[in-house]
Chains A and B, each alone.
Chain A
Amino acid sequence: MNTEILGIIVMFTATLALALPFGKYIARVYGGEKTLLDPVFNPIEKVCYKISGINNKKEMNWKEHMVALLTINLVWFLLGMLILMTQQWLPFNPDHNPNMSADLAFNTTISFVVNCNLQHYSGETGMSYLGQMWLMFLQFVSAGTGLAAAAILFKAFREKTTDQLGNFYDFLMKSCTRILLPLSLVVALILVFNGTPMTFEGKDQIVSLQGDTVNVSTGPAAGFIAIKHVGTNGGGFFGANAAHPFENPNYLTNMVVMFAQLIVPLAMIFAFGYFTGRKKFSRMIFGVMTVGFLLLTLPNINMEMNGNPAIAAMGIDDSSGATEGKEIRFGAAATGFWSIVTTVISTGSVNGMHDSTMPLSGMNELLAMMVNAFYGGCGVGLLNFFIFIILAVFISGLMVGRTPEFMGKKIEAREMKIAMIIALLHPFLILVGTALATAFPAQGASTLNNPGFHGFSEILYEYTSSAANNGSGFEGLGDNNLWWNITTGFVLILGRFLPIIGPIAIAGLLANKKYIPESNGTLKTDTATFGLMVFAVIAIIAALSFFPALTLGPIAEYFSM
């Protein structure tokens, strides 16, 4: 069998196999049971809580959770602005990189606080090592925030009737120390032993074999790259992200970091099942997500391996596929596969340039972010999916003429309103942003790298990536200016916090309701039929909201070639 295809299959199945036991482990972590790393981290956490004056045993209701979450995120944002706007004068800046402008710092800080990592700068020239370490800190805690939010959801569906949903700080710290840190450490070690730098020295100058003098940017990259994948953050240490030969030196590291970005979102699905004792329900979620994932990824692998028809027409040998923007060491198959892994999950790291992928590959990348719930980011993927489940329960309930119930709780007008607002927010942010940027050519069209339909796709991609908190881009876009920094900054905030608050509010409200024992009349939500229903809801929402925009961009480009 083709070694490129085999590499993908083995990587994916190995990740699936490990996701089950890791999900069990995550369920134990949030359940407060004993785990392997307790002896190391329990004392450290105890000291942290004591100095901070936090009682990590105090149970919170959903509103207290959200206040704690938003407060600490605000602290990170303010501190981030301060660091990025003064990094030039701070230590660990051997390359003498400048301070960020206010609008760029605004965009960058938000983007890392919200786990998106949209980057309107290049790491080599735009960030000091201290700045990089700060961003790395945000990569831990922003992923931890997403996981903690999902843990609140877990808790809400375990108890019969309660408003006590655990402690936010406890969930946050445990997510970071028991899940993200150990995984990152392992991945970082594999990276440094494969040629990824971990040094605090500055740029190096070399004279090439042919006699050109060039500089080589380096830095403490390995630690950063590990958590950027484990935490589904995706921001590159270097400008070219995971396509850079320092970030991702060979096929082995490519498999390892693909595993790293898949493992937590996959394991969280199973963790939900173990935690709430509803394993069959978990399997339904996993099934729907995997079908969606495969429907997007298989065509991409195929299209990227088949290559660009416009170049094939020139009469050269295009058996390597669409190699523009791709690296030889990964090949077209692994890059096509990655393009969907990174967009269904909210990682947004790239090992090849999405701007140069085939038109319909670009469409699938867009669709993956537009749905944003086939696996999804650390913790938040499950929250997004939860909204679709609520919608599906409601619609199914109406179809059979019963009061919609989910996990023994009645779903009523209030929950439905929240679910609808969150479901419609995502298309609203993407389409309004795209429409505005397109309506003002001085802001939109003048910053494009490609003409015509593809140029429109660049705008659409930027807002989709922001709203989905993904962070990848059609990177040809000249996006470091006031318009893009500010507009995407606001899209990022809204696209992060409302889709966290909404599902948590629903979960909190449901948890507080009276438990109705299951009967013959209850709609079963852990069956394949219901899975199909959820899938239909996702497909209908995505198709109705986004199809016109996709027609103007990638689909038109496809038919024009």
Chain B
Amino acid sequence: MKQHILPAIKLTVLTIILFAVLYPLAVWGIAQFAPDKGKGEIIVYKGQKYYSNIGQSFTEDQYFYSRPSAVGYNAAGSAGSNKGPSNAAYLAEVQARIDTFLVHNPEIRQSAIPVELVTASGSGLDPHISVAAATVQVKRIAQIRGINPARLEQLIAEHTDKPLAGLFGPEKINVLKLNIALDEMSKANNQ
């Protein structure tokens, strides 16, 4: 063992330079050519900077809701609820979310509420909802904002991200982008 200690220490130092200094530097260097220079995808709206990949909390009725989150969409941390599928307290919480949703959306039948709107995501920062989860909120938003529901459905269709290459994975909608477009539509409506 003795004869291996010094070589092991020296090799460790050298490989640290290779794998923990040069390799990340190379990736960082190339990231400077990526959109937004490797700082995440950024969008700016009305002078405010947002990360389009990091979900935001939307709880006001005038916006499309985002999904429940175990960390309140504060991206200083990230976590799921880690509730087990048979946990009684958790199931009561889901039931409570369904009831709250029905209070705010009285015209919606219970069977139309998509499960993803009442269950928390894995990261607590999910930026997306499904098409069904957006559609189920159209009536409420149309009433509050005084916009024709057909135009909102049009908006949803425009903001639906198709599966990768049209073939792989689910359809989805970025809630932040959808709500920004919604604000824009309201503004144009009021002018």
Q: Does A125 contact B (CB under 8 A)?
A: yes
Indicate if the CB atoms of B83 and A125 lie closer than 8 Å.
no
Q: Knowing A3-B167, A136-B20, A561-B86 are in contact, say whether A71-B4 is a contact too (CB < 8 A).
A: yes
Instruction: Tell me the bound Cα distance from A199 to B125 in angstroms.
Output: 20
Q: Knowing A185-B23, A246-B40, A356-B84 are in contact, say whether A328-B121 is a contact too (CB < 8 A).
A: yes
Q: Knowing A214-B75, A222-B27, A243-B80 are in contact, say whether A356-B85 is a contact too (CB < 8 A).
A: yes
> Could you mark each residue 11-54 of chain A with 1 if its beta carbon is under 8 Å from any beta carbon of chain B, else 0?
10000000000000000000000000000000010011001111
Instruction: Tell me the bound Cα distance from A350 to B126 in angstroms.
Output: 15
User: Contacting A209 at CB < 8 Å: which of B56, B67, B79, B87?
Assistant: B56
Q: Does B150 contact A (CB under 8 A)?
A: no
Instruction: Tell me the bound Cα distance from A322 to B35 in angstroms.
Output: 34
Indicate if the CB atoms of B23 and A184 lie closer than 8 Å.
yes
Q: Which of A329-337, A431-439, A485-493 contacts B (4 or more CB under 8 A)?
A: A329-337
Q: Does A296 contact B (CB under 8 A)?
A: no
Indicate if the CB atoms of A218 and B40 lie closer than 8 Å.
yes
User: Contacting B18 at CB < 8 Å: which of A44, A68, A356?
Assistant: A44
Q: Knowing A79-B12, A216-B76 are in contact, say whether A209-B18 is a contact too (CB < 8 A).
A: no
Instruction: Tell me the bound Cα distance from A68 to B176 in angstroms.
Output: 54
Q: Which of A188-196, A376-384, A498-506 contacts B (4 or more CB under 8 A)?
A: A188-196
- When distances are taken between beta carbons in the complex, the residues of chain B under 8 Å from A367 are none
- When distances are taken between beta carbons in the complex, the residues of chain A under 8 Å from B85 are 308, 310, 322, 324, 356-359, 454, 557, 561
Q: Knowing A212-B57, A317-B111 are in contact, say whether A324-B73 is a contact too (CB < 8 A).
A: no
Which residues of B81-103 are within 8 A (CB) of A? 81-91, 94-95, 98
Q: Does B179 contact A (CB under 8 A)?
A: yes
Q: Knowing A209-B50, A314-B95 are in contact, say whether A137-B31 is a contact too (CB < 8 A).
A: no
Q: How many A-B residue pairs have CB under 8 A?
A: 374
Q: Does B138 contact A (CB under 8 A)?
A: no
Q: Which of B95, B111, B170 is packed against the most chain A CB atoms within 10 Å?
A: B170
Q: Does A325 contact B (CB under 8 A)?
A: yes
Q: Does B132 contact A (CB under 8 A)?
A: yes
Q: Does B157 contact A (CB under 8 A)?
A: no
Q: Does B106 contact A (CB under 8 A)?
A: no
Instruction: Tell me the bound Cα distance from A328 to B62 in angstroms.
Output: 22
Instruction: Tell me the bound Cα distance from A455 to B180 in angstroms.
Output: 42
Q: Does B110 contact A (CB under 8 A)?
A: yes
Instruction: Tell me the bound Cα distance from A452 to B87 in angstroms.
Output: 8
Instruction: Tell me the bound Cα distance from A382 to B99 in angstroms.
Output: 52
Indicate if the CB atoms of A68 and B170 lie closer than 8 Å.
no
Instruction: Tell me the bound Cα distance from A427 to B6 in angstroms.
Output: 37
- When distances are taken between beta carbons in the complex, the residues of chain B under 8 Å from A209 are 45, 48, 50, 56, 58, 63, 176, 179-180, 183
Indicate if the CB atoms of B10 and A53 lie closer than 8 Å.
yes
Q: Does A164 contact B (CB under 8 A)?
A: no
- When distances are taken between beta carbons in the complex, the residues of chain A under 8 Å from B105 are none
Q: Knowing A6-B167, A245-B127 are in contact, say whether A176-B121 is a contact too (CB < 8 A).
A: no
Indicate if the CB atoms of B48 and A207 lie closer than 8 Å.
yes
Indicate if the CB atoms of B78 and A124 lie closer than 8 Å.
yes
> Could you mark each residue 194-230 of chain A with 1 if its beta carbon is under 8 Å from any beta carbon of chain B, else 0?
0111111101101111101011111010111011000
- When distances are taken between beta carbons in the complex, the residues of chain A under 8 Å from B52 are 195
Q: Does B146 contact A (CB under 8 A)?
A: no
Q: Does A474 contact B (CB under 8 A)?
A: yes
Instruction: Tell me the bound Cα distance from A328 to B57 in angstroms.
Output: 15
Q: Does B144 contact A (CB under 8 A)?
A: no
Instruction: Tell me the bound Cα distance from A380 to B110 in angstroms.
Output: 50
Indicate if the CB atoms of B7 and A350 lie closer than 8 Å.
no
Give the nearest-CB partner of B99 in chain A. Answer: A314
Indicate if the CB atoms of A317 and B115 lie closer than 8 Å.
yes
Instruction: Tell me the bound Cα distance from A478 to B160 in angstroms.
Output: 38
- When distances are taken between beta carbons in the complex, the residues of chain B under 8 Å from A171 are none
Instruction: Tell me the bound Cα distance from A388 to B91 in angstroms.
Output: 42
Q: Does A450 contact B (CB under 8 A)?
A: yes
- When distances are taken between beta carbons in the complex, the residues of chain B under 8 Å from A195 are 40-41, 52-53
Q: Does A527 contact B (CB under 8 A)?
A: no
Give the nearest-CB partner of B169 in chain A. Answer: A251
Indicate if the CB atoms of A3 and B168 lie closer than 8 Å.
yes
Q: Which of A68, A195, A450, A474 is packed against the most chain B CB atoms within 10 Å?
A: A195
Instruction: Tell me the bound Cα distance from A453 to B84 in angstroms.
Output: 10
Give the nearest-CB partner of B176 in chain A. Answer: A209
Indicate if the CB atoms of A199 and B38 lie closer than 8 Å.
yes
Give the nearest-CB partner of B120 in chain A. Answer: A324
Q: List 18 A-B contacts (CB under 8 A).
A: A71-B1, A137-B16, A181-B18, A195-B53, A196-B38, A199-B31, A210-B57, A245-B127, A308-B115, A324-B90, A325-B119, A325-B122, A329-B170, A329-B172, A330-B170, A452-B86, A475-B79, A557-B84
A: residues with CB less than 8 A from B are 3-4, 6-7, 10-11, 44, 47-48, 51-54, 67-68, 70-72, 74-76, 79, 122, 124-125, 133-134, 136-137, 140-141, 169, 173, 176-177, 181, 184-185, 188-189, 192-193, 195-201, 203-204, 206-210, 212, 214-218, 220, 222-224, 226-227, 238-240, 243-246, 249-252, 254-255, 307-308, 310-311, 314-331, 334-335, 350-353, 355-359, 449-455, 457, 474-476, 557, 560-561
User: With contacts A124-B76, A311-B119 known, what are 5 further pairs, Cβ within 8 A?
Assistant: A209-B183, A244-B78, A328-B121, A329-B126, A353-B80
